[in-house]
Amino acid sequence: MSLQPLLEVRDLDVSFYSDKKAIPAVRGANLTVYPGQTVAIVGESGSGKSTTAHAIIGLLPGTGKIVGGEIIFDGKDIAHSSKKGFQALRGDQIGLVPQDPMTNLNPLWRVGDQIKEALVANDIAKGSDADRRVLALLEEAGLGDVERRARQYPHEFSGGMRQRALIAMGLAARPKLLIADEPTSALDVTVQKQILDHLDGLTDELGTAVLLITHDLGLAAERADHIVVMYRGSIVESGPALEILKNPEHPYTRRLVSSAPSIASQRLSSVKAREEVRQQAVQTAGEIAAEIATAEGVVGKGENEIIVVDGLTKVFMLPGDRPWRKTELRAVDDVSFSLRRGTTTAIVGESGSGKSTVARMVLGLLKPTAGTVLFDGYDTAQLKGKRQMALRRQMQPVFQNPYASLDPMYSIYKSIEEPLETHKIGSAKEREAKVRDLLDKVSLPTSLMRRYPNELSGGQRQRVAIARALALEPEVVVLDEAVSALDVLVQAQILELLNDLQAEMGLSYLFITHDLAVVRQIADDVLVMQNGKVVEAASVNEVFDNPGESYTRRLLDAIPGRDLLTTA
């Protein structure tokens, strides 16, 4: 490591302007990157980590402006470079691997052409020489069959392949500094690990310095030499990676360390806490079951296993290459499991594994091709009319995206009240009391009732979605990636809330997720799915401590920061 830093950011201030009013996004940020070093900026959404990165490469969106400080790159202050000045830097001096592989490739150009552009623009190669370089770059990024791949369009690539193409693009002109902005957060964990391993190897080999932007402290600690923690636009802590993980000083960093799922999932305390939750929940659920057995107007016999799924299969017919030919897609293949009252069964799998399709069939939103779903002893497919309505009340969903699952035109009050109104429960007064009670349960102030979803944060919205699901006092809640879109700290809070509610109300959860790391804090049984089939079904501790399948082991190994935990 030479003494001369490659990048030095000094007292950087960035503001966004709306109606002539400055809204500061980054305040007095300082960081240093030496040649060949990997530095990670960690923070939650809105912390200013991406804004800092975009300021360095001169790509601040919209009204963003650098209002103070210096960005010294290779000995020169580039903070106030002209458009042309930045243009000369981009590509061959500073490269970028952007966040979302789905939107960062132009859908209308062949992948090879998009990489070739970078070579031509930076005067590295031209014509057929550039074509040959493109193939070498794609191979270097870990893609096989490169000649065919280069001629394909982005939509013919999977997410992981697209991210590899973006890496090839970012490194095409051999930059001295590569900014990797959450390069893998949109990908499945196993793919994430492959890509990061590959990026690590490549940048080591080329001696490229990397500025890694991430929200995951575990990932940062695993991949970076040096960590910079950002919180609300300021850098609150920075230091060697392991040092930060072991001795966090700032209270925010401490919270981050304690709630990062990749780290929390390893702690024995979370296993114990879960145990207590389950005991209480099972007891409450038992009392409810006893009532149900004799109650009227509900679906149920009060059985111990509230959901029993047997041989569930879903086959989609897709149009084939000829209009009269159809191809079969077996999205879910012979899946069987049961959910005990007051416990959580997690279904874990990567995208395309069929886990969400199972959830939709359990909820009765999709008709299975074969197999049955028993809800407390009754076949849900046989229920009609009133009894079907009753079933809908007893089983409620919470979906992934709290931005999309709340009607933006409905106030929070109306969103939560709507299910009560649909099922004609109580008078207007009673319903209002119920909504207040529900907001209280999910720890939201009742002053929020008259607000609209766009005025709420992501975590608050997901709380509202949970309150709405609980309005009808269901026995089962199906949580389809319910915490996946949230920042780590918020995620930890929501998981805690879900645990509390389960203990208090004796709820049973069907928890669908792609992230094995969060499973340990909430689930009792785990179903690992791959390509529509269940590859492993066991208790959560068995899966974590003694995984039976190589696929499960791969999922576990892919959780970032796993190896650091023994030391942390």
Partner 1 sequence: MWWYAARRILQTIPVILGSTLLIYALVFLRPGDPIRAIFGDKPVSDSVIEQVRAQYNFDQPFLLQWLLFLKGAITLDFGQSFTGRDVSDLVAEAFPVTIKLALMALVIEAVLGIVAGTIAGLRKGKLFDSTMLVTSLLVIAVPIFVFGFVMQLIFGVKLGWFPPTVGGNTSFYNLLLPAIVLALVSFAYIVRLTRTSVAGNLTADHVRTARAKGLSEGVVVRRHVLRNSLIPTVTFLGADLGALMAGAIVTEGIFNIPGIGNLAFNAIKRGETPTIVSVVTIMVLVYVLTSLIVDLLYAWLDPRIRYA
Binding residues (CB under 8 A) for partner 1: these are: 57, 59, 61-62, 83, 87-92, 95-96, 98, 100, 103-109, 117-118, 121-122, 153, 155, 166, 169-170, 172-173, 319-323
The full DSSP string for 355-388 is HHHHHHHHTTSS--SEEEEEETTEEGGG--HHHH
Q: How far is C-alpha 69 from the chain's CA centre? A: 34
Least distance from partner 1 to the Cβ atom of residue 345, Å: 37
Residues 34, 35, 38, 43, CA torsion sign:
positive
Of 6, 212, 176, 201, the closest CA to residue 97 belongs to 212
User: Is the CB of 170 or the CB of 453 nearer to partner 1?
Assistant: 170
User: Is the CB of 22 or the CB of 59 nearer to partner 1?
Assistant: 59
User: Is the CB of 83 or the CB of 367 nearer to partner 1?
Assistant: 83
CA distance 341 to 338: 10
Least distance from partner 1 to the Cβ atom of residue 165, Å: 11
User: Is the CB of 94 or the CB of 348 nearer to partner 1?
Assistant: 94
CA distance 265 to 214: 19
Least distance from partner 1 to the Cβ atom of residue 213, Å: 14
Helix ranges (DSSP H) in 80-232: 83-89, 111-121, 127-140, 146-151, 159-171, 189-206, 217-223
Query: Quick count: other Cβ atoms within 10 Å of Cβ 55?
Result: 25
For the chain, the residue count is 568
- The tokens 């990932």 sit on which residue? 219
Least distance from partner 1 to the Cβ atom of residue 57, Å: 6
User: Is the CB of 9 or the CB of 444 nearer to partner 1?
Assistant: 9
CA distance 68 to 147: 47
Query: Quick count: other Cβ atoms within 10 Å of Cβ 61?
Result: 9
Least distance from partner 1 to the Cβ atom of residue 150, Å: 14
Structure tokens at 349: 């799998």
Dihedral Cα 364, 369, 375, 378, nearest 10 deg? 110
For residue 444, give every residue at least 6 positions away whose Cβ sits within 8 Å of its Cβ, in sequence order, or none.
460, 463, 464, 467
User: Is the CB of 59 or the CB of 298 nearer to partner 1?
Assistant: 59
Least distance from partner 1 to the Cβ atom of residue 195, Å: 17
Quick one: angle between helices 488-505 and 458-470, nearest 10?
20
Least distance from partner 1 to the Cβ atom of residue 102, Å: 9
Least distance from partner 1 to the Cβ atom of residue 129, Å: 18
Do residues 397 and 469 lie in contact, with contact meaning Cβ atoms separated by under 8 Å?
Answer: yes
User: Is the CB of 118 or the CB of 534 nearer to partner 1?
Assistant: 118
Least distance from partner 1 to the Cβ atom of residue 137, Å: 12
Question: At 67, which amino acid appears?
Answer: V
Least distance from partner 1 to the Cβ atom of residue 202, Å: 17
Least distance from partner 1 to the Cβ atom of residue 89, Å: 8
What are the C-alpha distances in Å from 328 to residues 314, 320, 331, 365, 525?
A: 10, 9, 9, 21, 31
CA distance 498 to 522: 8
User: Is the CB of 97 or the CB of 260 nearer to partner 1?
Assistant: 97
User: Is the CB of 83 or the CB of 429 nearer to partner 1?
Assistant: 83
User: Is the CB of 17 or the CB of 109 nearer to partner 1?
Assistant: 109
User: Is the CB of 86 or the CB of 403 nearer to partner 1?
Assistant: 86
Of 402, 488, 556, the closest CA to residue 214 belongs to 488
